[in-house]
């Protein structure tokens, strides 16, 4: 039997969410916090971070000012970005890392990437790496290069912890020598790992799509768990607080749970704050990192809508 897609009407889901604007959910088991609110609001973020030690890692994935979200003028977008950056900076440890995912609109002079970088150059962060992650599926016509990139900016404050990460791509390049203590040593003998070290171009991470277990239907901008885990592993230690102001599918929270970090996160949309909490709960109950094709609110929707339930049960194709 093939299920019909669940109705995903946003307003439909609101009564099923446990948080309304301004509210927080605190996890008793691992100390994670999920808030529902606007991360540009200093008062809300101060409540979100209440009694937390400063974060050693902030991982931010804001809306990119492209088509998916409501688009602002460029200057408004940058002013808006500066507000959440300020709120993030306030709760970072003296030695901390900040990663920001951002888009660049190729039809509009790559906005907002250069303007965002310029705004960051006026703040107290050090720029460290401009990472590109390659998506498998791109967009665009045959008249241009297919757009497959995801930009990730890495900044630091002070001198934070950093642990190099390795891909699962084996090193194969032989015959590359370097003299060490007067002796010619071959590339592979010198290396710390038989695998390639992750550099600033990531080609080894699968973009999330509906056949993957980690897929969260209704979340249109979900990042791969592998990418988030790579960042967390590289730039934080066990027990550290990781701040993510744009939770969405709750990928950072789930990665923190799996890696023994404490996640403090929020989303302005109660539906995504709820999805974040549910994703953690589902992981704890089943070990599954997402819903694949199932709707995160499926059981509730079946419960409150007998007609939909009947339709689902009888639909076959």
Ligand X SMILES: C[S@@+](CC[C@H](N)C(=O)[O-])C[C@H]1O[C@@H](n2cnc3c(N)ncnc32)[C@H](O)[C@@H]1O
21 touches ligand X by CB under 6 A: no
Q: Give the long-range contacts of residues 223-228, CB within 8 A, separation 24 or more.
A: 223/61, 223/101, 223/249, 223/251, 224/251, 225/251, 225/254, 225/255, 225/289, 227/133, 227/202, 228/59, 228/252, 228/255
Q: 203: how many CB neighbours lie within 10 A of its CB? A: 14
Q: Which of 102, 205, 245, 301 binds ligand X (CB under 6 A)?
A: 245
Measured at the CA of 149, the angle between CA 203 and CA 78, to 5 degrees, comes to: 135
Tokens 């599918």 appear where?
249
Q: Is 43 exposed, middle or buried (0-12, 13-18, 19+ CB in 10 A)?
A: exposed
Instruction: Give the residue with the Cβ less far from ligand X, 116 or 272.
Output: 272
What is the maximum span of the chain, computed from C-alpha positions, in angstroms? Answer: 79
Contact (Cβ atoms closer than 8 angstroms) between residue 99 and residue 235: yes
What are the phi and psi torsion angles at 102 (to 5°)? -150, 155
Instruction: Give the residue with the Cβ less far from ligand X, 156 or 247.
Output: 247
Instruction: Give the residue with the Cβ less far from ligand X, 125 or 272.
Output: 272
Q: Compose the 66-85 pattern: x for residues touching ligand X by CB under 6 A, - for all others.
A: --------------------
Cβ at position 266, least distance to ligand X in Å = 6
251 touches ligand X by CB under 6 A: yes
The DSSP call for residue 232 is H
Kindly state the tokens that stand for 206: 């699968």
Size of the residue set binding ligand X (CB under 6 A): 19
Cβ at position 150, least distance to ligand X in Å = 11
24 touches ligand X by CB under 6 A: no
DSSP H or E stretch at residue 258: helix 251-259
34 touches ligand X by CB under 6 A: no
Q: Which of 105, 204, 269, 298 binds ligand X (CB under 6 A)?
A: 269
Q: Which of 266, 277, 280, 301 binds ligand X (CB under 6 A)?
A: 266
222 touches ligand X by CB under 6 A: yes
**Contact range with ligand X by CB under 6 A, out of 149-157, 268-276, 279-287, 297-305:** 268-276
Cβ at position 221, least distance to ligand X in Å = 4
Positions in the binding site for ligand X (CB under 6 A)? 38-40, 61, 63, 219, 221-223, 245-246, 248-249, 251, 266-269, 272
């Amino acid at each position: 039997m093939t299920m019909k897609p669940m109705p995903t009407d946003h307003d439909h889901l609101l009564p099923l969410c446990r948080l309304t604007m301004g509210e927080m959910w605190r996890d008793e088991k691992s100390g994670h916090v999920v808030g529902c609110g606007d991360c540009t609001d200093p008062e809300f973020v101060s409540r979100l971070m209440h009694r937390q030690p400063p974060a050693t890692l902030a991982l931010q994935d804001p809306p990119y000012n492209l088509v998916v979200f409501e688009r602002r003028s460029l200057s408004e977008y940058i002013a808006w970005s500066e507000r959440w950056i300020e709120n993030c900076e306030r709760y970072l440890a003296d030695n901390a890392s900040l990663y920001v995912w951002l888009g660049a609109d190729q039809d509009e002079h790559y906005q907002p990437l250069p303007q965002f970088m310029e705004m960051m150059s006026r703040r107290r962060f050090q720029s460290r790496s401009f990472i590109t992650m390659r998506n498998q599926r791109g967009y665009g016509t045959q008249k241009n290069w297919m757009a497959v990139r995801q930009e990730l900016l890495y900044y630091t404050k002070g001198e934070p912890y950093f642990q190099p990460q390795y891909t699962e791509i084996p090193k194969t390049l032989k015959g590359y020598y370097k003299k060490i203590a007067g002796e010619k040593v071959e590339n592979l003998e010198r290396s710390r790992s038989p695998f390639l070290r992750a550099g600033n171009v990531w080609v080894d991470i699968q973009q999330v799509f509906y056949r993957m277990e980690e897929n969260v239907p209704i979340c249109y901008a979900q990042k791969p768990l592998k990418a988030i885990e790579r960042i967390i592993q590289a730039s934080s230690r066990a027990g550290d607080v990781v701040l993510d102001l744009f939770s969405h599918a709750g990928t950072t929270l789930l990665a923190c749970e799996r890696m023994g970090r404490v996640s403090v996160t929020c989303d302005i949309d109660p539906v995504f704050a709820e999805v974040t909490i549910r994703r953690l709960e589902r992981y704890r109950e089943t070990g599954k990192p997402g819903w694949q094709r199932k709707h995160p609110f499926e059981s509730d929707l079946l419960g409150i809508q007998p007609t939909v339930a009947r339709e689902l049960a009888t639909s076959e194709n």
